[in-house]
Structure 1
Amino acid sequence: MDECVERLLDVRALKFGSYKLRTGLVSPVYIDFREIFGCPDLLCQLSELIFKVSREAQYELVCGVPYTALPLATCISITHHLPMLVRRKEAKDYGTKRIVEGKFIPGQTCLIVEDVVTFGSSILETVSVLQQEGLKVTDAVVLLDRAQGGAERLASCGIRLWSVSTLPQILSSLRSRGRLDEDTVCKVLDFLAANQYESDSLANGSALPAKEQLGASEKIPRIVSAAALSYGQRSLLPTTSPFATRLLSLMEEKRTNVALAADVLSCADALALAEELGPEICMFKIHADALSGFDEGFHLRLVDIAKRHRFLLFEDRKFADIGSVVRRQYEGGVFRISHWAHVVTVHAVAGPGALLSLQEAYSSVDSGAFIVSEMSCQGSLAVGNYTQAAVEMAKGCRDFVAGFICTSRVTTDPSWVLVTPGVKFQEGDDGQGQQYLTPDEVIGRRGTDVIVVGRGIVNADDRLATAQAYRHAGWQAYEGRLAQS
């Protein structure tokens, strides 16, 4: 899809500005795939991507949701010799008066093809019509998922959604190619987060505009603003992992979203730092292999300090190997990470094997991991498709993965915790690739949850006063975000 993204922008299939949607909401982005009808090569290319992404689905027929998806379904039908059905929006009062056109036998399975999914209502309408004709529908495929809860809504109705791309993924790709500025990306991500489909497990969302603003057959899904939910409310969501629940609850009770990166050289310095600044933080992050003097006595003393000052221990190991190796690194060796760390980091590059091995090895039910989906260093390759693949990988380990290391809101799901490293009061870089962002930028504008501050505190003349200043700034940005939403 990456090679098509800029083309979609060029042909105006992707529009950025201010657009009123059918729901009555005003969106900073508008998706209009009718623009590709005048580009046959692009139409065929996108249709092929749709076919490939849904190859694991089992079906005998295809049906495009009227009307924009009809050319996409037609291309798939012709290219791959698949019988196609056409669902009318309304039956004619003459001729056969059929609502579904095409040859089929009741009991056959049909794949629904759609161009864009927001809340999934159009797909569900088509499912209902096809089922009334005696057809089975288990899968739908879409060119673009806006990532506003449609996939989850469809899943709750027994429909598996396959998507070529998501809107956050496209935004990331355009940003990395220099085609979209950061302000526009943040504005769209804010809109997506503020307009999520609300499942029955969330009862405190706001409703979409009145029904008369929608089509007559359109159901009104409730939506919830991820940014409007407090840390405490998010800790109660049934999809939040045990460690994320523990962390979010601690942040709410202690009123801090600061994780301290202990950028020191020795275990003695790390212990002194933890003792001094523990009351101000929610997590204490170390690189065990970068500390001199590491032994069992160190981690026992560190665990004791963490208990007294109520913070969680974060080993930034960034596991990135096959499962069996990762498990040995976690449980054994000099550092015996499993004996003291509450949370670790894992790269997505090696696939889900590392995650699954760690999940099996964890001795505590409320421990977990953060997947590194983005990095704060200049030139990082963790962008675009890689970032979205990391987010998708987490869905297979929801009880274990607490969230993501990222520099932007990589997901709108409020059950994930988003942790941003490289935070300082002054934006800039350290000359070695580290890019710094302010607490207000990270928590307020980008919508992540935890600021990781290292040298900004560790190298300060008055470390305690500086840590307290970061704690105040981070919490103020969080409360401001809640107030605005």
Structure 2
Amino acid sequence: MGDLADLVLQLYDIEAFKFGSFKLKTGLQSPIYIDLRVIISYPDILRSVAVHMNEILKRSNVSFDSICGVPYTALPIASIICADYKRPMLIRRKEAKNYGTKKLIEGKFQINDRCIIIEDIVTSGSSVIETADSLRAEGLQITDAIVFFDREQNGENNLQKRNIRLHRVLKISEVLGYLVQHGKISEEISENVKEFINQNQTQLPTLNIEIENKTISIPIRQRFQTIMKEKRSNLCLSADLTNLDEIIKLSKQVGSNICMLKIHSDILTDFSMDKIQQLKDISRKLNFLLLEDRKFADIGNTVKLQYTKGLFRIVEWADLVTVHALPGECIVQGLEQSAQSINEPRGCLLIAQMSSKGAFTDNEDYVKGVVECAKKYSDFVIGFISQSRLTTTDEFLHCTPGVHLNNTGDQLGQQYVTPRQAIDERGADILIVGRAILDSINRAKTAEEYQQQGYQAYEEIRKI
């Protein structure tokens, strides 16, 4: 009998595997129940599990900078692996603290570090995906997960769809084989379990993450909310400049005051992937999102190419993009499909209303259609570019351009509102400010002024 078979029998003896009829949280009646939480009371078994998982880790030949265990059962396993084999560890909280640093991810890491996830059991893969999304939202690269026990209910395929490779110590079929071989269960029980597994394959779950009593459906929205709260900023700088070197310099000056930087890559005279990577690195270091104001407005297949190919390869560096809903749902579908090829969270803002005088978007039926499209694709659409509050819930962020402390206008039809007017009268969450900062003699000081006035109004009016 090999070591792995011995471990399976030990787990059976401590009732980590139970056979009978058990109601799962999905409501299904299962002939098997697996509970590895019990191993924390058996130090030798706990260490044996960790040793076997570390062996898989070594054989996988995956390079990584740290390990993160999925809370809660995998945490002691990950702790032993990290302590015994001197591997750096991160901890993902199930909820952020409401005091102190208010971090969701604990531990030391750098942007673009590679982190491998440790989990005890995979069924649908939802816990691994949720942990991966939280880590990716902090700028970490997640490509692999190691699990002790795979229930073989399509979790591996679900994880592959999120660009995560699954490595496992044991499959349920192997466990059943060991238990039958050593007389712990009958062949009939084994076949009943296999039939249940085959008939109850899981599908990729839709994740819901709770932040500040608001239901947030995707990690890019979670990250946005976290940035706003930590930096006390709802300021998006519209950097409508034609020189990327100047934008990089500007981002260093005002990055600590903004939650998002908006650019137009197609007007840049010096665009290169090396330079845009510099800007991306600054955004991670100073904790703001990059919004490419591309205003996609074509059929699904075309926007997929515009998003991923060509000179700009927008999907590789832009956290968010702007999108016109004029072509219909196909445009969101195309972008969302393309975004799944990237190991970082991506999203979009639908353009519902514009700040220019006489805009054709000033149509009630059109705006309603935009909102319905957002609701249907809320895993990718995180909000709107708008001039008014379009929904009664906090599910979507409302980003309002044309904000200026001097609410006059320009000669080309741009209409301005003050930060307080934008939030109070127009229902804005995010203030998009451009020329007021760009034309300032002291851009950093002006950005700080807009940050302070904007977030103060946001707190008072939204009562957060």
TM-score band w.r.t. shorter chain: 0.5 to 0.7
Instruction: Report the equivalent of 2:422.
Output: 442
Instruction: Report the equivalent of 1:282.
Output: 259
Provide the aligned C-alpha RMSD in A. Answer: 1.6
Shift of 1:385: 0.9
Instruction: Report the equivalent of 1:370.
Output: 349
Pairing 1:352–2:329 present: yes
Structure 1 residues 409 and 248: CA distance shift in structure 2, 3 A: same
Deviations along 1:18-67, whole A, 9 cap, x unmatched? xxxxxxxxxxxxxxxxxxxxxxxxxxxxxxxxxxxxxxxxxxxxxxxxxx
> How far apart are the structure 2 equivalents of 1:433 and 1:333?
33
Shift of 1:434: 1.2
Q: Retained in 2: the 8 A contact 1:246–1:366?
A: no
> How far apart are the structure 2 equivalents of 1:473 and 1:392?
32
Pairing 1:481–2:461 present: yes
Structure 1 residues 462 and 233: CA distance shift in structure 2, 3 A: farther
Pairing 1:413–2:385 present: no
1:451 to 403, 409, 431: 431
2:237 to 260, 273, 283: 260
> How far apart are the structure 1 equivalents of 2:337 and 2:246?
33
Pairing 1:295–2:272 present: yes
**Percent sequence identity over aligned pairs:** 39
Instruction: Report the equivalent of 1:315.
Output: 292
> How far apart are the structure 2 equivalents of 1:239 and 1:286?
26
Structure 1 residues 399 and 458: CA distance shift in structure 2, 3 A: same
Shift of 1:421: 0.8
Deviations along 1:357-376, whole A, 9 cap, x unmatched? 11011024521000000001
Q: Retained in 2: the 8 A contact 1:258–1:280?
A: yes
> How far apart are the structure 2 equivalents of 1:390 and 1:426?
30
> How far apart are the structure 2 equivalents of 1:236 and 1:330?
33
Structure 1 residues 381 and 308: CA distance shift in structure 2, 3 A: same
Find the residue that maps to 2:215 and give its secondary structure: coil
Structure 2: which amino acid aligns with 1:432?
Answer: L
Q: Retained in 2: the 8 A contact 1:239–1:398?
A: no
Shift of 1:456: 0.3
2:247 to 228, 249, 270: 270
Find the residue that maps to 1:403 and give its secondary structure: strand
Find the residue that maps to 1:398 and give its secondary structure: coil
Q: How do 1:34-433 residues align onto structure 2 when only pairs under 5 Å count?
A: 237-362=214-339, 363-364=342-343, 366-383=345-362, 384-433=364-413
- TM-score normalised by structure 2 residue count: 0.53
Instruction: Report the equivalent of 2:452.
Output: 472
Shift of 1:233: 7.4
Shift of 1:249: 1.3
> How far apart are the structure 2 equivalents of 1:401 and 1:326?
15
Find the residue that maps to 1:279 and give its secondary structure: coil
Shift of 1:342: 0.1
Find the residue that maps to 1:435 and give its secondary structure: coil
> How far apart are the structure 1 equivalents of 2:324 and 2:343?
21
> How far apart are the structure 2 equivalents of 1:439 and 1:449?
10
> How far apart are the structure 2 equivalents of 1:235 and 1:244?
13
Q: How many residues align?
A: 253
After the TM superposition, which parts of structure 1 deviate over 4 Å for at least 4 consecutive aligned residues? 232-236
> How far apart are the structure 2 equivalents of 1:422 and 1:244?
23
Shift of 1:245: 1.5
Find the residue that maps to 2:436 and give its secondary structure: helix
> How far apart are the structure 2 equivalents of 1:235 and 1:330?
32
Query: Which runs of 5 or more structure 1 residues have no equivalent in the other structure?
Result: 1-231
Deviations along 1:420-478, whole A, 9 cap, x unmatched? 01110011211112111110001133221000000000110111110000001101111
Structure 2: which amino acid aligns with 1:255?
Answer: R
> How far apart are the structure 2 equivalents of 1:372 and 1:265?
23
Find the residue that maps to 2:229 and give its secondary structure: helix
Structure 1 residues 236 and 367: CA distance shift in structure 2, 3 A: farther
> How far apart are the structure 1 equivalents of 2:213 and 2:445?
33
Query: Which runs of 5 or more structure 2 residues have no equivalent in the other structure?
Result: 1-208
> How far apart are the structure 1 equivalents of 2:365 and 2:211?
27
Find the residue that maps to 1:280 and give its secondary structure: coil
Find the residue that maps to 2:427 and give its secondary structure: coil
Deviations along 1:107-156, whole A, 9 cap, x unmatched? xxxxxxxxxxxxxxxxxxxxxxxxxxxxxxxxxxxxxxxxxxxxxxxxxx
Structure 2: which amino acid aligns with 1:319?
Answer: F
Q: Retained in 1: the 8 A contact 2:262–2:293?
A: yes
Deviations along 1:394-428, whole A, 9 cap, x unmatched? 11111110010001101112110000011100112
Structure 1: which amino acid aligns with 2:249?
Answer: A
Q: Retained in 2: the 8 A contact 1:457–1:463?
A: yes
Instruction: Report the equivalent of 1:34.
Output: none
Deviations along 1:344-397, whole A, 9 cap, x unmatched? 011010101010011011024521000000001111111211111100111111
> How far apart are the structure 1 equivalents of 2:210 and 2:336?
25
Q: Retained in 1: the 8 A contact 2:402–2:414?
A: yes
> How far apart are the structure 1 equivalents of 2:218 and 2:324?
19
Instruction: Report the equivalent of 1:31.
Output: none
Shift of 1:265: 1.8
